[in-house]
Chains A and B, each alone.
Chain A
Amino acid sequence: MTKYISSTINHFILSIGLLIMVVPIWIIFASSTHSSLFINTNGLQFFLGDNFIDNYSRVLFKQSGFFNEITALKMFFNSFVMATGIATLSVITSLMAAYGLVYFKVKYATFIFWLIFITLLVPLELRIMPSYIVMSKLNLVNTFAGLILPISASAIATFFFRQFYKSIPDELLEAAKLDGTNSLRFFIDFLIPLSKTMIAAVFIFMFVFGYNQYLWPLIMTTSEQYWTVVMGLKTMYGSISDRFAFVIMSMIPPVIIIIFLQKLFIQGIFQNK
């Protein structure tokens, strides 16, 4: 009996948690299926309306922005290119750098180690203005390279991969050496397959991180052609139900990734704990 009561309390508390996390999004979603006129007279809605297809297709394909040069579809494309670029570049450079640090004798190793890890102390937000100046000197404003490179300049993934490599038993390398494996082969044939889960977790993390960037695209894109979804939200013009629909669409890609790959993601967190 007491067991039954305590489990009821557990479910009750969890349900309140669910209400807090889910209801705000549901209200925005429900409101996004009504016409703007209806929202303007009746406020936010709990129940679905019947303008779903109208609103969403209008937002997706309509030219918007100040100069009417971009559609939401193009913004999604830009966000995908940016997020994939950031995730791919971070994974590749970090995997390689961590390998160089762990499996080789490096001259000035301590110096290089600090050169890489001190960067964890300086998030992009702290160097935003000088970064912009550097990018304009390199003629990278309004390019995908400009959106991707400064955000990939992060050592957080190197730190994770380094921890992971250090946990791999030395016997593996000894055995490989006996077989006469060279360093490149060892990296490609042994370490990368072993790090698959880690790679996936880091990729997911960096993809969501890249997709969710707001300040950097805001500064780096003076041409509407390069607007991304998250920054477009603030600058997009349109009726209130259009904006609701855009808010809902903007969160779909990262949310789907996290929901479907949560096991992988959590495993990745665990491996380096």
Chain B
Amino acid sequence: MEFGEIVSVLLQGAVVTIKIVAMALPLAAVMAFIFGLIRLYSPAPFKQIAIFYIEFFRGTSALIQLYWIYFVLPFFGITIDAMTAAVVALGLNIGAYGTEVVRGAVQSVPKGQYEASIALNFTARQRVWRIILPQALVNMIPPFGNLAIELVKATSLVSLITIGDLTFKAKSLADTTLQVGEIFGVVLLLYFIMSQALALLFKLLEKRLSKGLGRGGIN
């Protein structure tokens, strides 16, 4: 098979991978925020639920989570297509790690900020949304960037539930052509480019958000 053909097939797979990342990443961010804030601020029963979610998804294999959602849930009458299963499984998995990022970032905001917001008589909600979170957000961006890259790499698991992602295309090409060197070389490069693009995106985001905070180089 010609090199150009190989690249074009792999690019099709890369588009599927990008789609999964583009959907799973927002889901992970939403889960991270919701459960991170529950973990930090809500009363006991909700906190326990959040801790269960976090520990469960961090403490079990992402592949098995994927299998459960795609292969096992149908036995309980819940059938979802492979793409949705992939997005849900990866989003929940990365989201569980993200909750700890949210928690750590919130706790790293100096205590004095919280005290000043009490002294100015902000309500509990205003304290969190107007004073603490805007500062915590900047601290979250670098570790979130790491998780986004983890997510890109974790998408290769979805090839095992019939999705034609980059890894899936590479394996089937390799099986038929045996040109493993070229194929997996290109695959490595494509994953690397996707990760680098995300890393750059998060760098830009960090610069934008750190305006005035005296870090991240904007002032």
B is bound to A: no
Interface residues of A (CB under 8 A from B): none
Interface residues of B (CB under 8 A from A): none
